Amino acid sequence: MGQVLGIFVSNGGVPKLAVDSAEISLLGLVGDDQADKKHHGGEMKAVCVLDNEILTKLQSEGHPITPGSTGENLLVEGFNLTIGSTLEVGDCILEVVSAATPCKTIEASFTNGYFNRISHKKYPGETRWYCKVLKPGRISISG
């Protein structure tokens, strides 16, 4: 069974900052915003999820990535993060709909600014995922 290790929000941009709980609407976490609405946010990119296994792998490679630094809303472990899979988190149900394409705004999280290290095209599966919200509700960090 999967669990939520971290919940992150910001008024736009990165890093996103940790909170203990949040309300998730059809458009994402209440209180979270995106600076670039053309490429982020909306119903099909409502919640950005990163698996802790990827975070720790990147850290072991020497990248200065930290929870929230690549713009993810949720840091999770124990979920099957593939397109079409669903995650039950708190009162919510999310569906993975696409890989989140990395961009230069997260380059500080990577050695030599190599943000494409989390490109699904270059490193299949080693990425952040966008989810749509199937069931809104409240979420909190797993205890």
Mean pLDDT computed over 125-135 = 97
Residue-wise DSSP of 79-138: ---STT-EEEETTEEEEEEEEE---GGGGGGSGGG-GGGG-TTTSTT-SEEEEEEEE-EE
Amino acid identity, position 89:
V
- Residue 24 scores a pLDDT above 90: yes
Answer whether residue 143 shows pLDDT above 60.
no
What's this model's pTM, rounded to 2 decimal places?
0.95
Q: For 58-111, what is each residue's pLDDT tens digit?
A: 999 999 999 999 999 999 999 999 999 999 999 999 999 999 999 999 999 999
Domains of the chain: 3-135 (2.40.33.20)
